[in-house]
Amino acid sequence: MKRKLKTSINILFTLILFSALFTTSALAENKTTANSSSSIENSIEAKTASVNVEYTSDFKDGFKVNSLIAERSGEYIVFTINYESSGDGGFSFYNPPSGNAIMKIDNIGIKAGTNSSELDLTLDEFAKVLSADTISMQFKCNGISSYINFKTEQLQSLLNSNFDGNVDYSSQYQDGFKANGLTAKRTGDNFIFTVSYESSKNGGLSLFDPPNGNTLSKANESGIKTGSNSATLELSLAEFKKALTCDNLTISFWSDNTSLGWINFKTAQLQSLLNADPGSEKISPTNITLDKTISSIAVNGSEKLTATLSPSNVTETTVIWSSSDPAIATVDSNGNVTGIKAGTASITVTTSNSLSAACQITVVANTTEKSISYQTHVQDVGWQDWKTNGTMSGTSGRSLRLEGIKIKLNNYENLGVQYQTHIQNIGWEAETNRGWKSNGDMSGTQGLSYRLEAIQIKLTGTDADKYDIYYHVHAQNVGWMGWAKNGESAGTAGYGYRLEGIEIKVVPKGDPAPSDNVTYADPFKENIEAPYSQIMQEYRTAEANGFSIDVIKSLPDVNKELNYSSFKTNLYYIVEDISGDSSPELVIAMYNPKYNNSVHPNDFQIYDVYRLNNGTPERVFDIYTMGYRAIYTICENQIIRCYGSGGVSAHADTFYKLNGNTTATVQTVTFEKPYYILNDAKNLNRTITKDEADKIINSYVPKNDIKWIKL
C-alpha cells in the first residue's frame, strides 16, 4: 500500500509539471465559480457584509481616527477609515510586535482635513490579516506617527457571509473526464471535500499544495469510478489548518498513471469553516424581524426589543445589537434599550450572515429637565432631528453645508435665547431687515442653497446673568473651532467656508468653559481683506500699467489723480482699524524714502482711505479731495496729518479726525512768514508763537507700528 501511494504521488508531481504547459487563457476558459461576478467594479459595488471595527488608539496632536469600517464587496474586503488630520501623509497595516508590513502601504492616503480613505484587500490578502490575532495601522502625518490596534476575530463574519459550501475553482481536463462541482463542509473535527464528476475510467484523486505537496498531501487512490459519481477527500482538523496556510490547493485526477485533469482553488474562501458548527450542518437565517419598528422611552427609561429569525430551524442564531447613537440610547446583547438623553437613535440587530432589522427609538426628556435644543437644515438632508446639550447637529465627513438652524430652551424660567447667522450672499441677519431670531424661529434660509458661515447666540431674560451659553462649529477647511460664548462670533467670515456642524451648551455662570472636540483654537476666523479685494485688484492693475490715465479712468475705485501725482511709486496697503470704531479701513499708500524727515517721519505717503458702509466699501479720504500736493501720514488717536508746503516762506499742518464715513478738521497751524496762525474750534486765525506752533504739531504723535504690505 505504501509503495502504491508513493507511485501515485510521483504521478501527481508529473501531472503538475504537465499542467504548467497549459496556457493561462485555457485556464480562464474553464474557470468554474459557485458565486460569479462579472468584474471588479461590479463586485465592489455589491457589498454583502460590513463590520464597524472596534479598536484601541494612540493618537498624536493633529490626527484622529473617527471610525474604521470593513466591508465585503464581492471578492474584495474594503477598509474605510474616517479621520481628521492637520496634514497629508500615509498609512500601513502591520502585525505587532514584529512591525513587518503584512498588507499594503499607502504613502499618500491621508489628506489634511476631515476625510475618508479606502484600502481594498483581495481575499488572499485578507486571509493573511485573519492569520494574525491583532493588526495595527500606522498613520504618519507631518513626520509624527499615530496608531490603532484591532482584533481580527471581529472580522471573521466577512468571510462567513459569502461561503455556502460551494468552492470556486479553475480547471483543466483530458477527454473523458470532467468535474461538475466541489463542496467543502465540517463534520466534527473532520473536513470533507466532495467532488462530483463524470469519468470514462476508474482511477484516483489527490489533494496537495502546488507545486510539490510539501505542506499537505492527501490521496484517495480508488475514488474515481466510471460514470457520473462523486468522490471525497477527508482532512483532520490539524490537516485543514495546514491547508489554510497555503494560498492555493490542487486536486488532481488520474487513471493508470495517466492524468485525467485537475482543479485549483484558493483557500481564503474556506476560512469560515473553522468556525462552523462541528456537530451538524449550519442553517443560516433567511429573514429577521423585530417586534417593534418605532418606539419611545423616557430619559433613564428602558425597553426590551425581541428579534425573530426565520426559518424556525435556524442553527446560526447569533445576533449583534447596535445603536446608531449611544449618546442617546444604548442597547445590550439581549436587546434591552436604555434612554440616555433626549433625541432619536436607530437600534439595529444583525445576523451572522448580515441580515438586519431596525427600530427607531425616540428618547423623550423628562418634563422638568433643563436643556437647550437645536436642529439644523442640512444640504441634501433637510431638517434633522432635534439635538440637545452639546450633541452635534449637522454631519461629519460628508462636506454638506448647514442652511438653517432653530434653537430653543426647555424648562428654564426667565431665560430666553436669541441668535443670528452670517449667510452666503446676505451677511449677518441683524444688519438686514431679517434681524435676530429667538426661541425656535428659523435663522438662515430654506430652498435657496445658501450656506451658513458663522453664528452668534446670546441669552436673554432676567436670569441671563446666571448662565453662560457656549457654542462651537465645524467649518469647512478648518475643522472644529474653539468654543464661543454669550454673543461672540463662531465660524468664519470672508472665506466662503460653509458650516457643517454645531454643538451648543448652557451652563451655570462661572462654570468652566468646554474644551472638548476642538482642532482650531479660535472660535472665529475672519478675512478682513475680503470686502476690499476688488479695490485692491484695481490698484494692482493701475500700477501694472504705469498709472496710465486711460487705465485709471476705466477703474472706478482708483484715485484719478494717480496719473498726475509726483509722489506715485510702489503701492502698499494695510487693512486696519485706524478710526477706532472696530471696523477696519483699507489704506493705500506710496513708498518713497526721500520724504523721511522730521516733517514726514516715515517712508509712506497715504493716498486713499476706504471703509465699509453696511458692508460696501466707500472712499472717505483721498489726496484729490484733500489736496494732492500735500504729504499725508497716520498719527495716533485716529488722526491723519497733512503737511502742505508753499516754499520756505509758507507751509501748513492740518490735522484730520476720522469719524465714521467722514473726516473732520481738528486743527490747522499755518506759517506765513513771519507769522504762525492757529485755526480750530476755539480759535479763528489766532497768531501764535513758533514755540506754541511746535508744541501743537509735536502733540500729534506719528503711528510708527504700522506693518505695510506690498500691494
Fold of 287-364: Immunoglobulin-like (2.60.40)
**pLDDT number for residue 135:** 87
Q: Is 669 left (phi over 0), alpha (psi -120 to 50) or beta?
A: beta
pLDDT attached to residue 8 = 43
Q: How far apart are CA 186 and CA 189, in angstroms?
A: 7
- Is the distance from CB of 64 to CB of 106 less than 8 angstroms? no
Relative to beta strand 489-493, strand 524-526 is parallel
Nearest-5° Cα angle at 133, 130 to 134: 100
What DSSP string describes 577-616? --SSSS-PEEEEEEE-GGG-SSSS-SSEEEEEEEEEETTE
* H or E element at residue 122: strand 113-122
Residue pointed to by grid coordinates 462530483: 196
Q: How far apart are CA 586 and CA 577, in angstroms?
A: 9
- Which residues is 468 bridged to in the sheet? 507
Contact (Cβ atoms closer than 8 angstroms) between residue 639 and residue 700: yes
Q: How many C-beta atoms lie closer than 10 Å to residue 298's C-beta?
A: 14
Which residues make beta-bridge pairs with 172? Answer: 262
Question: Identity (one letter) of the amino acid at 201?
Answer: K
Cell of 598: 522730521
What is the C-alpha separation between 203 and 186, in angstroms, rounded?
A: 26
Give the whole-angstrom CA distance, residue 322 versus residue 346: 8
> Could you give the C-alpha distances from 259 to 176, 250, 655, in angstroms and in order?
11, 13, 109
Pairing of strands 307-310, 287-290: antiparallel
Cβ distance 208 to 249 under 8 Å?
A: yes
The pTM of this model reads 0.41
Please tell me the distance from the alpha carbon of residue 222 to that of residue 216, in angstroms, as a whole number: 19
Nearest to 281 by CA among 160, 183, 163, 187: 187
Distances (CA, A) of 294 to 297, 305, 348, 664, 698: 11, 11, 12, 70, 79
Cβ-count burial 142-172 (b if 16+ within 10 Å, e if not): eeeebbbebebeebbbbbbbbbeeebbbbbb
Q: Which residues pair with 191 in a beta bridge?
A: 186, 235
Whose CA is closest to 558, among 617, 517, 510, 601? 617
User: Which residues contact residue 568 at a Cβ distance below 8 angstroms, ignoring those fewer than 6 apart?
Assistant: 547, 562, 590
The values of phi and psi at residue 640, to 5°, are: -115, 130
The residues spanned by each domain of the chain are: 2-35+162-273, 40-159, 287-364, 371-525, 531-710
| The two domains 2-35+162-273 and 287-364 share their CATH topology (first three levels equal) | yes
Q: Which residue, 584, 570, 488, 580, is CA-closest to 529?
A: 584
pLDDT at 563: 66
- For the chain, residues with pLDDT lower than 50 are 1-48, 161, 598
State the pLDDT at residue 30. Answer: 37
Strand, helix or coil for residue 25: helix
The topology (CATH level 3) of 2-35+162-273 is Immunoglobulin-like (2.60.40)
Q: How far apart are the first and last CA of the chain?
A: 96
Give the model's pLDDT for residue 287.
93
DSSP 385-402: PPEETT--EE-SSS---E
Q: Which residues pair with 428 in a beta bridge?
A: 422
DSSP 278: S
- 40-159 placed in CATH 2.60.40: yes
The predicted pLDDT at position 98 comes to 56
